[in-house]
Amino acid sequence: MITQQRTIGKPVSDSGTGLHTGNKVTITFWPAEPNTGIRFVRTDIENCPEIQADIDHVVDNSRDTTIGIGDVRIRQVEHVLAALYGMEIDNVRVEVDSNEPPVGDGSAMPFVKILQEAGIVEQDAERQYLEIDETITYTDPENGIDMVVFPSDELRITFMVDYKNPALGTQYTSMYSLSDEFVTDYAPTRTFCFLTEVEMLHDKGLIQGGNLDNAVVIVDREVSTEEMAGLTKRFGLKGEVSVGHHGEILGNKELRFANEPVRHKTLDLIGDLALLGVPLKAHVMAARSGHAAHVELVKKIRQLYQKKKLTSKYQKKPTKRGVIFDSEAIARILPHRYPFLLVDRIIELDPGTRVVGLKNVTMNEPFFPGHFPDHPVMPGVLQLECMAQAGAVLLLNSLEDPESKIAYFMTIDKVRFRKPVVPGDQLILDITLLRQRASSCKMACKAFVDDELVCESELMCAIVDRE
């Protein structure tokens, strides 16, 4: 297992044609400092904007993986990312002078070859892995997609495709070791599509740089000699292209592997997993998935990664099962102190999305003697304060330096007190982030006692620097 971060030894370049635009494009890989990650740079645009290759910058995943920032886009980055991830390279700058890398032969192998030419250099920084310790699932019943992530000591992938189209049918592959199998068994696999898809994509102005040298085209309908002549002219194919029959490869091209299509789907998945921004230790099982499903799965894995980072930062000792942050960790997160630190535990956390906290209401609370004598009831304003304190945990992963910030109430809306909260109750605080900006956030808040709603509200807070 690699223990140090890695980059390349020298700049290397390759030139070719973009698959969709047909534009001439040059790609250059540059060494980068530790913890840089993978960054794409558009050198054909003024000021050469940079785009971090991570899940936060994915702007389209319909036919390929496109990343962007503002109006700047780079599409079909998955093969470049797969080459870098498969060769276990952590830090590199990728310069392109168009909106997509060169397609090469439709595989990741051209990128692998020039990266091998550049050489790999270990850096003076430890390589951090995301180790999966719980099962993560993603399913899309409408499209028959299922994905499951299990714990594993290294990245393993099992992939199955089961197209209704008999031209391809069912295929299966399993990669047990990224370092041993990627370059030889997966990097050379080419992108594939059905003939009917090719025609549809071309009609939409896409795949202008596509040809039989950079894609495997599977014939999914009978093609006559006359039609083949028309297709040859339409796509600018050179020479005589033989008529393919149903289930054959157009032009009688040979597959590099008997199951090359499903291996290429695995290659795409590896490239999309690179969007995590951290190497993964897990066994990923995928059935009939594509870029859109991969991105959704990466988002779920990324939430786990963010939770692990927050836990390791604030929770300094092991906790009981079902506890994310104990009272000591909460004191590290929040500026409040006795008698106004009102949250005892955080028991669920989806960073940037939802948090569930717990407040044990005891007779020893300092407000009960005055609210009210002989009839203790927790003040409603303090229930709202409990919600706000639990909600502050949601901001941890989105603020650059959360310890230097503090939140002030701006508005409190839609408040409903459903039932009195009394000594002996345990408040469960369920907070969902509705909207966040650099200087404010809005949260939907609910508080329960014994599964019964006792209070709800919408809170808006201003985020300011601590003095």
- CA–CA separation, 170 vs 218, rounded Å? 14
Place of tokens 């106004």: 340
Structure tokens at 239: 């020479």
Q: Of 57, 202, 336, 371, which is the active-site residue?
A: 371
- CA-based angle 174:148:314, to the nearest 5? 120
Structure tokens at 294: 């991969």
Q: Is 58 strand, coil or helix?
A: strand
Q: Residues 6 or more apart from 110 whose CB is under 8 A from it?
A: 14, 16, 102, 104
Looking at residue 409, what DSSP letter applies? E
CA 320 to chain centre: 29
Q: Please answer whether residues 147 and 132 qualify as being in contact, where contact means their C-beta atoms are separated by less than 8 angstroms.
A: no
Q: Please answer whether residues 384 and 460 qualify as being in contact, where contact means their C-beta atoms are separated by less than 8 angstroms.
A: no
Concatenating the DSSP letter of every residue in 82-120 gives: HHHHHTT---EEEEESSSS-B-TTSSSHHHHHHHHHH-E
Q: Please answer whether residues 47 and 61 qualify as being in contact, where contact means their C-beta atoms are separated by less than 8 angstroms.
A: no
Dihedral over Cα of 380, 381, 387, 389: its sign: negative
Q: Is 381 strand, coil or helix?
A: helix
- CA–CA separation, 184 vs 41, rounded Å? 29
Q: Of 20, 291, 294, 375, which is the active-site residue?
A: 291
* Bridge partners, 441 (sequence order): 436, 461
Place of tokens 């870029």: 291
Catalytic, 246? Answer no
Catalytic, 291? Answer yes
* Bridge partners, 358 (sequence order): 345, 428
Concatenating the DSSP letter of every residue in 195-228 gives: HHHHHHHHHTT--TT--TTS-EEE--S---HHHH
Q: CA 137 → CA 213, 283, 287, 307, 336, distances in Å?
A: 37, 12, 12, 17, 37
Among left, alpha and beta (phi > 0; psi -120 to 50; other), residue 70 is left
Q: CA 214 → CA 39, 105, 180, 292, distances in Å?
A: 25, 4, 25, 23
- CA–CA separation, 249 vs 286, rounded Å? 25
- CA–CA separation, 314 vs 264, rounded Å? 41
Residues designated as active site? 291, 371
